[in-house]
Chains A and B, each alone.
Chain A
């Protein structure tokens, strides 16, 4: 029993870190640009398949990681520059266009790599024991990596000039522009960061099990719940939300039924929206 619970805690902790990476990117784009990026799931897929492709080309783990970061980051930049910038003040159009783009990306991946799941390379192989349970080194690496990224991003946002500019733009685009901050550059930065984070999460998700062309859908839908629960635009809220949702999701699947995958977070989402739409952290960035 204890073992099951320990296993559950470890599983959820690692999974939640990845959800946080996905959700932070989502919330950054929403907080700064005011648009919902429904192609965020496509970045996850691109990260996983980028890593897989680099590995099959014999580039090794460093190559795989680089591909998982760079390809989705470039994808984010291209998306912003070609599509989003034109419809920046038309959030509905952005939702539709990003959704269509994500479907297109999924189709390209499906046609290029097939419907069979592929094995994404692991960061590290092997096992070690923690207390009474066995932990894969890869999972530990993912945990460390996700927290390293979260902390780095937190420091970047709060203590660098670029980061503060992002914060300022999300508080008031107009005020920021009066201070000489170019909002289009800030937006571009957030799209690149969001893409890179999602790509890393994609590689990590794929390396735990396998990757398929619709790998990104579930995390994307989960990040709706996470972002709304944490409070739209709040990074701290996203991390907390990711852990709450992650533990809930893994718990329901583990202890109730695996057929219920995805339902509990959606129910939480609807409840939060009805009861406390501003989420846990309201809008931290605006304070």
Chain B
């Protein structure tokens, strides 16, 4: 067991003990942050690993959340039963998005994934009689998990969210460190090589999409039965949610699962912290807490500028070690290939995705192949 694993375990133990010093409202904030961490991990397993960048992961959270909330509110199904149905339908949505992803590459896939949740929101508005439009399904109509109550059971919600977080972390960690994870990474690096090795990239892409959708759907389905969220476009489907998930994963460190998890939790805690800042912005004469989203956007811009490789990598100075863990290659500098050029293995996941994306763009526009 390496030092990093030990640090991770100690961290989890600390999180388990955290409610001892947390106020009830903060416990709920942390619960929301864990849910977001799960969202970010679910994005990372398909986008960070296979390089199929999804700009609309909210689709899966939405399908999971709405399914469970509607079954519960409309048919009185217990959350314990309605949540698995939500997960199932989210997995189906994963297939629906995953199949086009086999044909569409790079920017085209981004566009489809970007508009998919928009279509869903429009449908929800169109059939407001069922989905209650932009308001979403009122949390008052939806039962809480295990019959807990919003006031008094805050710490239980904390532990439920933490349990989900740890479960998903362990699940995705295991899968991405298995042979399947190696294939995911290989698809991101060079799909043709995967086919040439006799493996079917389509099968693994679909698998990644379904896995990711199911995990996202699980988090979405669970969150609607807690005070952390309800089945509404703004908490599950909005463009801001979709983008925040990506920002969280990239800031944390894409293609590592752990980075996405930490990034997701930190992002929500940061956002929450901004709400409590009393500082008044001189020029606009409004307190920061009233324009938290703007400030958040600016901080995000700065962070993305400063640490495009991910905050976690930077914080631990572990770039080399991460690469060693993830790719099994040499840490430190780029490996020198026999022809004297640097091997692309030394690129971070983000850089690889950029490369493929740029290649796809070139293919789309024709020409400029010589630049490689």
Of the listed stretches B9-17, B265-273, B290-298, B321-329, name the one at the interface; the rest are far from the partner chain. Answer: B290-298
When A93-B304, A221-B118, A259-B126 are in contact, do A100 and B111 touch as well, CB less than 8 Å? no
Shortest C-beta distance, A272 to chain B (Å), equals: 10
User: CA of A99 to CA of B286 in the docked complex: distance in angstroms?
Assistant: 24
B119 within 8 A of A: yes
Rounded to whole angstroms, the CA-CA distance of A31 and B364 in the bound complex is: 10
User: Are B114's CB and A96's CB within 8 A?
Assistant: no
Given known contacts A97-B304, A111-B291, A224-B114, is B354 in contact with A89 (CB within 8 Å)?
yes
A118 CB, nearest partner CB in chain B, Å: 18
Tell me whether A273 is interfacial, beta carbon within 8 Å.
yes
The complex places the Cα of A260 from the Cα of B121 at a distance, in Å, of 11
Q: Can you list 17 A-B contacts (CB < 8 A)?
A: A36-B110, A90-B350, A96-B250, A103-B293, A104-B298, A104-B301, A108-B294, A111-B286, A172-B367, A175-B367, A257-B126, A260-B122, A262-B118, A266-B115, A270-B112, A270-B115, A273-B111
On whether A277 and B108 interact (CB within 8 A), knowing A91-B354, A96-B250, A266-B115, the answer reads yes
Asked if A91 and B358 make an inter-chain contact with CB atoms under 8 angstroms apart, the answer reads: yes
Determine the distance from Cα of A22 to Cα of B364 in the docked complex, in whole angstroms.
Answer: 22
Further pairs besides A92-B110, A269-B115, A273-B112: 19, Cβ < 8 Å: A91-B107, A95-B110, A96-B250, A104-B298, A108-B294, A111-B290, A170-B365, A224-B111, A228-B111, A259-B128, A263-B122, A267-B119, A269-B111, A270-B100, A273-B100, A273-B111, A277-B104, A278-B364, A286-B366
The interface residues of chain B lying within 8 Å CB-to-CB of A83 are: 301
Q: Mark B87-110, 1 if CB is under 8 A from A, else 0.
A: 000000000000010011011101
User: Chain B contacts of A274 at CB under 8 A?
Assistant: 100, 103-104
A66 at the interface (CB under 8 A from B): no
Q: Interface readout for A251-287 with B: 1 if CB under 8 Å, 0 if not?
A: 0000001011111001101100110011000010010
Contact of A233 among B110, B243, B297, B365 (CB under 8 A): B365
B354 touches A232 (CB 8 A): no
CB within 8 Å of A: which B103-153 residues? 103-104, 106-108, 110-112, 114-116, 118-119, 122-123, 125-126, 128
Pick the contact of A96 from B246, B298, B361 — CB < 8 Å? Answer: B246
Q: Does B179 contact A (CB under 8 A)?
A: no
A173 beta carbon closer than 8 Å to chain B: yes
A86 CB to nearest chain B CB (Å): 8
Question: Given A99, A170, A260, which contacts B126 in the complex, CB threshold below 8 Å?
Answer: A260
Query: Would you give the 0/1 interface string for B326-367, flagging 1 where the beta carbon is closer than 8 Å to chain A?
Result: 000000000000000000000000100110011001001111
Per the 8 Å Cβ criterion, residues 76-132 of A in contact with B are 83, 86, 89-93, 95-97, 99-101, 103-104, 107-108, 111-112
Q: Does B247 sit within 8 A of A, measured CB to CB?
A: yes
Neighbouring A residues of B354 by C-beta, 8 Å: 89-93
State the B residues within 8 Å of A (CB): 53, 55, 100, 103-104, 106-108, 110-112, 114-116, 118-119, 122-123, 125-126, 128, 239-240, 243, 246-247, 250, 284, 286, 290-291, 293-294, 297-298, 300-301, 304-305, 308, 350, 353-354, 357-358, 361, 364-368, 370-371
Residues of B within 8 A of A286 (CB): 365-367
**Binary CB contact string for chain A from 9 to 46 against chain B (1 if under 8 A, 0 otherwise):** 00000000000000000000011001010000000000
A157 on the B face (CB < 8 A): no
Decide if B240 touches A91 in the complex (CB within 8 Å). Answer: no
Query: How many contacting A-B pairs (Cβ < 8 A)?
Result: 133
A171 on the interface (CB 8 Å rule)? yes
- Bound CA–CA A277/B126 (angstroms): 28
Contact A261 B122 (CB under 8 A): yes
With A and B bound together, what is the CA distance between A228 and B108 in angstroms?
9
- Per a CB cutoff under 8 Å, which of B118, B300, B357 touches A100? B300
Chain B min CB distance to A193 (Å) = 19
- A286–B358 CA distance with the chains assembled, in angstroms: 17
* Cβ of A182 under 8 Å from chain B: no
- Smallest Cβ distance from B300 to chain A, in angstroms? 6
| Chain B residue with the shortest CB-CB distance to A217 | B239
Set of chain B residues within 8 Å of A30, measured between Cβ atoms:
107
- Residues in chain A near residue B110, CB distance under 8 A: 36, 92, 95
Identify A107's interface contact among B294, B364, B368, CB under 8 A. B294
A89-B354, A92-B357, A286-B366 known; A107-B108 Cβ under 8 A: no
A164 close to chain B: CB less than 8 A: no
Q: How far is the CA of A85 from the CA of B246 in the complex (A)?
A: 21
Closest B residue by C-beta to A259: B126
**Which of chain B's residues has its CB closest to A103's CB?**
B297
**Closest Cβ neighbor of B242 among chain A residues:** A99
Q: Which of B103, B308, B368 contacts A173 (CB 8 A)?
A: B368
| B297→A107 contact, CB < 8 A | yes
- Do B239 and A99 touch across chains, with their CB atoms under 8 A apart? yes
Q: Which residues of B contact A104 (CB under 8 A)?
A: 294, 297-298, 301
Given the complex, which residues of A lie within 8 Å of B291, measured CB to CB? 107, 111
Q: Is the CB of B243 within 8 A of A93?
A: no
User: Which chain A residues lie closer than 8 Å to B114 at the CB level?
Assistant: 224
Q: Which residues of the other chain, B, contact A174 by a CB distance below 8 angstroms?
A: 368, 370-371
Q: Give Cα A175–Cα B297 distance, bound, in whole angstroms.
A: 38
Which residue of A90, A96, A111, A224 is within 8 Å of B247 (Cβ)? Answer: A96
CA gap between A213 and B371 in the complex, in Å: 42
Set of chain A residues within 8 Å of B350, measured between Cβ atoms = 90, 92-93
List of A residues within 8 angstroms of B112 by Cβ:
269-270, 273
Contact between A283 and B55, CB atoms less than 8 A apart: no
For B103, the chain A residues whose CB sits under 8 A away are 274, 277
Mark interface residues in A48-82 (1 if CB within 8 Å of B CB, else 0). 00000000000000000000000000000000000
